[in-house]
Amino acid sequence: MAGSEPDEATGSQPMPAIEVAHLRKTYAGTTAVADVSFDVAEGEIFGILGPNGAGKTTTVECVSGLRTPDGGRVRVLGLDPRLDREDVRQLLGVQLQESRLPARIRVREALELYASFYRAPADVGELLELWGLADKAEARFGKLSGGQRQRLAVALAMVGNPRVVVLDELTTGLDPQARRTAWDMVRKVRDAGVTVLLVTHFMEEAERLCDRLAVIDRGRVAALDTPAGLTGRGPAGAQRMRFRLSQPIDAADLLALPEVTAAERRGDHWEVTGDAEVIGAVTAHLARRQIIAGELRVAQTSLDDAFIALTSHARAGADGRQEA
């Protein structure tokens, strides 16, 4: 992992690109971030996962200097985003979830405007080529597709030649092909030597891109590990089944089996999770009722399963059922 080797001159660990320690932030008496701590090594793609309202965006806004924390410590390349605002702005590129440009501004015009904010900006023409926007240089922002807007967002984040980039929900609203193109962009950013702090709610995205992940839930870090390490925190030896039934069945009927830990109908299919014996138990149970399980697929526990296990209490309804 980038940044994990000791500094040869001092024998100590190099300074993290981002340090967050016991971060706290409240709004009108509501706690958005209660106690968040993590470090990001230089050259790392570090992901932040969490349910809606968990405090993810507030955390990265504090890192970016857009919010003032109520407590704790935040450093970007050793600098305080509040006290060293101008220096941090020159070193940090930001793409935020809610950031939008005027509909009539042209792509080249937006890049030139942002470039004017930096002491040593990147060449706008090179950015247009690098991020596949050369043929859209004179197009207005309001006419761009979702994928083109995301490419522009990354280009704007990179226009100041930053050492650290914050990307908040970069691929939300994109189709699968555009999402994979965006993933290639993130890898390209890291290959350029830039540290990436990535906020996402897509498990596949986190698994494919991130060196490490922090799961934030109710304003606190619920887990901090590699994607593989977090996946290993799912139910030990658990299996997940997906199938279509030849006739209706109640979830309670499946949940009554001791081998089953969760059963949920999604459209025409059922998803059932349980221990190592769940496949035999469910198929035998259905066979006794002369119910056929078609299109059966079986998988080991995933990052999805680990995420749900770590944050499931946040989605529990008042009646004890899981909310959508």
pLDDT digits (tens, 9 = 90+) for 220-273: 999 999 988 887 665 555 677 888 888 888 888 889 999 888 888 887 888 888
Task: Give the separation between CA 309 and CA 268, rounded to whole angstroms.
Answer: 24
Which pLDDT score, from 0 to 100, does residue 234 have? Answer: 59
Q: 137 by DSSP, 3-state: which? A: coil
Give residue 235's pLDDT. Answer: 55
Q: List phi, psi (to 5°) of 245.
A: -100, 150
User: What is the per-residue pLDDT across 195-222, written as a single tens digit (0 to 9) for each?
Assistant: 999 999 888 899 899 999 999 999 999 9
Do 141 and 105 touch, CB atoms closer than 8 A? yes
Helix or strand or coil: residue 126?
helix
CA dihedral (10, 13, 15, 17) positive or negative: positive
Q: Which residue has the tokens 């001159």?
A: 9
Q: Is the pLDDT of residue 178 over 90?
A: no
**What stretches of the chain show up as alpha helix (H) in DSSP?**
56-63, 85-91, 107-115, 124-130, 146-158, 176-191, 203-209, 227-231, 251-255, 278-288, 303-311
* Residue 158: count of CB within 10 angstroms of its CB: 24
- The one-letter amino acid code at 185 reads M
pTM, two decimals, is 0.74
Label residue 324 by pLDDT band (50, 70, 90).
very low
More reliable by pLDDT, 230 or 5: 230
Amino acid letter, 113: L
Residue 102 has φ and ψ, to the nearest 5°, of: -60, 140
In one-letter notation, the amino acid at residue 5 is E
By residue count, the chain amounts to: 324
Give the other-Cβ count within 10 Å of 259's Cβ: 17
Predicted pLDDT of residue 135: 96
Q: What is the pLDDT of residue 2?
A: 39
* Token pair for 312: 């499931």
Return the SS3 of 82: coil
Q: 158: which 2 tokens?
A: 């990179």
Residue 5 in this model has a pLDDT that exceeds 60: no
Confidence band (pLDDT; 50, 70, 90) for 65?
A: very high
Alpha-carbon distance of 245 to 263, in angstroms, equals 13
Provide the 8-state DSSP code for 322.
B
